[in-house]
């Protein structure tokens, strides 16, 4: 059969490629060289007991096995609006919220509602690979915004990239893969830029709860009564509530965009899974202490990785560390990063994602997910990177 050439030209999933590469490794090595899997950003802990209890209740209630409302069940939309209003201020209501089957679906339907073939979307580097994949497979051109020396994208730099075909600016904060948190004042500058040019600012805050400082709001955009004409918020509860398999995300937007999103959702999945929505309600309304403890746990895991790599073992150097990720520069300028990733896995039992999954070119970068690294694992990571550098003849101070 003939395939759509635009979709066929799209890249395959980097996570799928990582899992396929892991399949080449001899599992017998686990007895003496356990695999350090730093590939996917998966929570290392089970959901909160309150969430598990609610899932059991839902499974036993035959009245909850039918379709949910397309925009999401009212208690979840209320819980999402309440939490965002507490953090950001403003007049958010449940009507501003549409529940989706994960944040990837949230991005896909928003992107389709905003842009079509031939349009452009500004995307800071390094980008989140699923965003880039979706835009390209839909015929939308990603226009890359280079960040500053600290990997923070700047609105002043984005303005020069705007054209009549620009439909949106996308920010992911904290970043995936970089972990970098965009400062609130810079997010405001992006929103003002978007408003001046009548385009959308799409703000993906999947890792919002895992910012280095959660005592202040991640931004104050919702306090502006006119936010609905410009700002689109995307959220995920996979990491926050440790329910990635339940597929729960959300879009927070104005009425015109929500209408288009609902059309798309009705064709794609009708509604997000009911069980996942009920689980998210329980997590958002009843598991506050558990959530705070998990945020602290991920912070400790980041600290262990940061300390283990502080002295550049094997020449590997942290470029950024935040959220669920370490963005690491490898010391082999003459080797393709894909080859480095393969060597780290097959010779050093450490699975990472190549930075080329997040960039248009090879900049010697690796993404390491810190979620499953305990203190001993961080020390083992440093040992393995040191050995990888030693075998390749890298001398470090």
At 165-209, the pLDDT tens digits run 999 999 999 999 999 999 999 999 999 999 999 999 999 999 999
Kindly report the pTM of this predicted structure: 0.94
Establish how many alpha carbons lie within 13 A of residue 339's alpha carbon, considering only the half-sphere containing its beta carbon.
8
Last residue of a domain, one of 247, 264, 286: 286
For tokens 């403003």, what's the residue?
90
Q: Which two tokens stand for residue 344?
A: 């780290």
Last residue of a domain, one of 286, 312, 345: 286
Any idea what the CATH number is for the domain that residue 182 is in?
Answer: 3.40.640.10
Any idea what the CATH number is for the domain that residue 313 is in?
Answer: 3.90.1150.10
> What domain count does the chain have?
2
Establish how many alpha carbons lie within 13 A of residue 238's alpha carbon, considering only the half-sphere containing its beta carbon.
24
Range 344-366 average pLDDT: 96
Specify whether 66 is located in the same domain as 167: yes
Specify whether 40 is located in the same domain as 56: no
Q: Is the pLDDT of residue 97 over 60?
A: yes
Specify whether 218 is located in the same domain as 364: no
Q: What is the pLDDT of residues 216-267, one digit of tens each?
A: 899 999 999 999 999 999 999 999 999 999 999 999 999 999 999 999 999 9
**Per-residue confidence band for 65, with pLDDT thresholds at 50, 70 and 90:** confident
**Per-residue confidence band for 396, with pLDDT thresholds at 50, 70 and 90:** low
| Sequence-ordered list of residues with C-beta below 8 angstroms from that of 118, at least 6 positions apart, any chain | 139, 140, 141, 165
Question: Is 225 within a domain?
Answer: yes
Specify whether 108 is located in the same domain as 215: yes
**Per-residue confidence band for 24, with pLDDT thresholds at 50, 70 and 90:** confident
Write the DSSP string, 347-387: TT-EE-EEGGGSSSS--SEEEEE-TT--HHHHHHHHHHHHH
Backbone conformation region of residue 46, classed left if phi is above 0, alpha if psi is from -120 to 50, else beta: beta
Establish how many alpha carbons lie within 13 A of residue 5's alpha carbon, considering only the half-sphere containing its beta carbon.
1
For tokens 């064709």, what's the residue?
267
The percent of the chain in helix, strand and coil, each rounded to the nearest 5, is 45, 15, 40
Specify whether 306 is located in the same domain as 351: yes
Specify whether 41 is located in the same domain as 53: no
Question: Is 397 within a domain?
Answer: no
Q: What is the pLDDT of residues 325-335, one digit of tens each?
A: 999 999 999 99
Specify whether 280 is located in the same domain as 331: no
Specify whether 121 is located in the same domain as 238: yes
Specify whether 356 is located in the same domain as 266: no
- Mean pLDDT, the chain, as a whole number? 94
Specify whether 255 is located in the same domain as 346: no
How far does Cα 381 stand from its chain's mean position?
A: 23
Specify whether 141 is located in the same domain as 241: yes
* pLDDT at residue 354, as a whole number: 97
Whole-angstrom Cα distance, residue 224 to residue 228? 9
Residue 64 domain boundaries: 49-286
Last residue of a domain, one of 264, 286, 308: 286
CB 175 within 8 A of CB 138: no
Whole-angstrom Cα distance, residue 82 to residue 74? 12
Q: Is the pLDDT of residue 397 over 60?
A: no
For tokens 């960039």, what's the residue?
359
First-to-last alpha carbon distance for the chain, in angstroms, is 57
Percent of the chain's residues with pLDDT above 90 = 85
Question: Is 396 within a domain?
Answer: no
Specify whether 111 is located in the same domain as 176: yes
For CA atoms 251, 256, 260, 262, give the dihedral sign. positive
């Amino acid at each position: 059969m003939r395939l759509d050439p635009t979709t066929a030209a799209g890249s395959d999933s980097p996570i799928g490629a990582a899992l396929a590469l892991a399949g080449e490794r001899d599992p017998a090595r686990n007895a003496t060289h356990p695999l350090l899997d730093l590939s996917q950003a998966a929570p290392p802990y089970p959901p909160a007991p309150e969430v598990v209890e609610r899932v059991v209740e839902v499974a036993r209630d035959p009245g909850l096995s039918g379709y949910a409302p397309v925009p999401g069940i009212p208690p979840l939309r209320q819980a999402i609006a309440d939490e965002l209003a507490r953090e950001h201020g403003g007049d958010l209501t449940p009507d501003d919220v549409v529940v989706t089957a994960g944040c990837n679906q949230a991005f896909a339907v928003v992107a389709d509602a905003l842009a079509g073939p031939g349009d452009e979307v500004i995307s800071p580097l390094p980008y989140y690979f699923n965003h880039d994949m979706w835009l390209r497979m839909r015929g939308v051109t990603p226009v890359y915004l280079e960040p500053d020396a600290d990997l923070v994208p700047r609105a002043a730099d984005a303005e020069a990239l705007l054209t009549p075909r620009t439909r949106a600016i996308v920010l992911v904060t904290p970043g995936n893969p970089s972990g970098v948190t965009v400062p609130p004042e810079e997010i405001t500058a992006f929103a003002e830029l978007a408003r001046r040019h009548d385009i959308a600012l799409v703000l993906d805050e999947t890792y919002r709860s895992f910012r280095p400082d959660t005592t202040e709001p991640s931004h104050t955009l919702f306090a502006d009564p006119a936010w609905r004409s410009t700002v689109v918020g995307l959220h995920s509860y996979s990491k926050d509530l440790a329910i990635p398999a339940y597929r729960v995300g959300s879009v927070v937007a104005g009425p015109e965009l929500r209408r288009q999103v609902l059309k798309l959702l009705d064709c794609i999945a009708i509604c997000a899974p009911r069980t996942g929505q009920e689980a998210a309600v329980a997590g958002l309304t009843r598991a506050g202490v558990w959530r705070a403890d998990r945020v602290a746990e991920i912070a400790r895991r980041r600290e262990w990785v940061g300390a283990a790599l502080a002295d550049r073992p094997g020449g590997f150097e942290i470029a950024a560390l935040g959220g669920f990720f370490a963005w690491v520069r490898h010391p082999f300028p003459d080797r393709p990063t894909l080859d480095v990733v393969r060597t780290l896995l097959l010779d050093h039992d450490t699975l990472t994602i190549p930075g080329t999954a997040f960039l248009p070119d090879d900049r010697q970068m690796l993404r390491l997910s810190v979620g499953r690294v305990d203190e001993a694992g961080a020390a083992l990571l440093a040992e393995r990177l040191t050995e990888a550098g030693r075998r390749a003849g890298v001398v470090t101070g």
